[in-house]
Amino acid sequence: MGPPSFGNSSQDAAMARLKAIPEYRELFGKAFPHDKDPVSPKNWASAIGAFERTLVVPSRLDSWLLGDDRALEERERRGEAIRVMGITQLGQEIPQEAIEELFQFLCSLTGPLPQGFSEAPVLPAGGFRP
């Protein structure tokens, strides 16, 4: 919650900024109706966590892990480590064929983005100005 992550000097400063925006107080109240003070560090963390969980995109790897043997090609299933990782993390050269296979495997991790995923959210007026 410090300056490197959210531009706030302290946790109290972050909560004060959120509480100063009426729309955020209202939205936190709706999301956490049983809390006396819904705009809290705990609830802020929960809200951020809920948002971040929406960033997961199903991939062909997920389908394969769920038992669909046709989801990945043979070369994708055999994929290990990229050259630099092999040298820096394993201390060894990785054969070119293995690098190509890993590349194919990594390509299997990409899935379709949900509709509206790349649209910027509409934030309440007055939110988080420097």
- Residue 63 token pair: 């389908």
Q: What is the pTM of this model?
A: 0.51
For residue 40, give the DSSP letter: S
Q: What are the pLDDT digits (tens) for 5-63? A: 567 788 888 888 889 999 999 999 999 999 999 999 999 999 989 888 887 778 887 88
d(CA 101, CA 80): 7
112: Cβ–Cβ under 8 A, 6 or more apart, which residues?
A: 57, 58
